[in-house]
Structure 1
């Protein structure tokens, strides 16, 4: 079940990346994050508020964690990604974003002294090979054509932020209802976002209100913010950040599939090869074979 939840999160967030790239010219970054999480709070409120009073003592004792999760998971990661897609290409963004599991392992070793097994290293290598196969379209010669700009650096910084957020979730107080915790995290994230949004409005940058932008906000506000975050949190609580982080590698594969279905792009052999490598890597890094003992 936790692996299914993590897979669902990767699928939904793949759609979020596609939408953010498609709508970056009509929805500014801070506005996109702001209205996304306003809608998420509205959806969460009927579920979270009746439980908030009961969970408040524990939540208050963990306000520092709530603020960290709100700043990293709600404000910074989304703002950096939505800003980055103004300058970087889809290929480069997918390449840099796939570094998240590596950062999770690195910071896990530094902050929590977590060990990494040979099997997990092999799984990571296979998943990265799958991502690279899709990005390079099966041609190593394309490496020479890759260039990195400020958008790529912003995605790299976002990857670091998400890795820290994923590790922080391991301290999620189990006494607090998950919907209450996400609600509090979203409120904290919006508070941190206010200066970014105020600056954006002061510069005269506004969202174009029409059917596509409204539908985009609905998708990222309900699915990418509530459903995916709840699934990701539940999955990480069961399997840990190191193992769960490998599911980020599914996003380039899912992005390819979504492009074939919704954009009419052609599915090529290198796509299938990359997807197989990614799934094999995740299986290697997450599932253990238990030997039967007499």
Structure 2
């Protein structure tokens, strides 16, 4: 690219230490750099827009972040009480997203006021109850047990969606769910199905089981969310969840249970505040919009697979044959159930989101 003499003369007007050293080549490089930067930004925007439309990529990260959530919570159980972890997780997450959500909250205020009951239920279930119960259960059971128990969510979501939302469940979904569940059971039984009848669930397992049921209700009801911006939805449900957790946090403090200020505890709170909180929740909600709650819930069966990998890396556990067989069954079942499936009632949410995006562009 050739630059004119005028370009060189304008470059000389810049206040450099040595103006005589500025030439047309520098001007050309500067111009080319600005063009390259613009292209990079444009390509980056296209990349993220494309990523935002890929449900299974987003849900893969969701499963990874949530699997890490259970492992981190279990590892930090001696440093951070369960309610404190839930409280600070959501409080920090709210502080991070509130500046970005504020203008949407102001614009969506009339809709929020008109749908406060649904938002109250979503915040209480998805933010307040589920994670507080999960962390409480992890005080008494292992992270692996917690993740395996959570693998029952797809069946519950499928069941609740068929009853309360009128979802049409196909034979392919049923067969895929059965195969994926068989993989989960194979891992739980460690390759010996005869020991399933001897499982002895402790109190922590029961608490997590209750949390799983509440999350399934949240996932199904999410499709009836009001037509507000995703950041508005997230911020409002965070506020509801934090308010609901606060009395229990006060009770925990009164009992003498405090956060131990340590590098590990701070890192744990930082991780759960960003990855399984902000990113995973936004990705999960987007997944429901794209493929419906049944398809989204089915894909969450990869969470035990992710958890096993994290346990091997961070906890020193060994991959055995029954792990490999179980993972293959889970992945195969998910692929079968998702192949050619159409978004169910989740399409209602997607249409609402499309209307929101069109409204945002017009403004």
Is this a same-fold pair by TM over 0.5? yes
CA distance in 2, matches of 1:177, 1:91: 35
1:61 counterpart residue number: 114
Q: Structure 2 matches for 1:154-193, cutoff 5 A?
A: 154-174=207-227, 176-193=228-245
CA distance in 2, matches of 1:150, 1:183: 32
Provide Cα deviations, 1:10-59, integer angstroms capped at 9, x if missing partner.
Answer: 11000001111111122111100000001100110121012221121122
Provide Cα deviations, 1:144-201, integer angstroms capped at 9, x if missing partner.
Answer: 4420122111111111100011011101234x21112101110110011111111111
1:199 counterpart residue number: 251
Higher relative contact order (CA 8 A, sep 6+): 1
CA distance in 2, matches of 1:263, 1:168: 36
Q: CA RMSD in A?
A: 1.6
Q: Does residue 46 in structure 1 map to residue 99 in structure 2?
A: yes
Is the CA contact 1:24–1:86 (under 8 Å) kept in the aligned structure 2? yes
Q: Between Structure 1 and Structure 2, how many residues are aligned?
A: 289
By how many angstroms is 1:252 displaced?
A: 0.7
CA distance in 1, matches of 2:165, 2:302: 26
Provide Cα deviations, 1:174-229, integer angstroms capped at 9, x if missing partner.
Answer: 4x211121011101100111111111111111111111111111111011110000
Q: Which is higher, the Rg of structure 1 or of structure 2?
A: 2
CA distance in 1, matches of 2:294, 2:341: 18
1:287 counterpart residue number: 339
2:76 counterpart residue number: 23
Aligned match for 1:2, one of 37, 55, 67: 55
By how many angstroms is 1:91 displaced?
A: 4.5
Q: Structure 2 matches for 1:202-281, cutoff 5 A?
A: 202-281=254-333
Is the CA contact 2:70–2:147 (under 8 Å) kept in the aligned structure 1? no
Provide Cα deviations, 1:233-290, integer angstroms capped at 9, x if missing partner.
Answer: 0000111111110122111110111122223322222222111111111111112189
By how many angstroms is 1:95 displaced?
A: 3.3
Is the CA contact 1:94–1:135 (under 8 Å) kept in the aligned structure 2? no
1:111 counterpart residue number: 164
Is the CA contact 2:148–2:188 (under 8 Å) kept in the aligned structure 1? yes
CA distance in 1, matches of 2:186, 2:255: 41
CA distance in 2, matches of 1:29, 1:186: 17
Gaps of 5+ in 1: none
CA distance in 1, matches of 2:55, 2:306: 18
Task: Tell me which stretches of 4 or more aligned residues in structure 1 moved more than 4 Å.
Answer: none
CA distance in 1, matches of 2:145, 2:284: 24
CA distance in 1, matches of 2:206, 2:152: 12
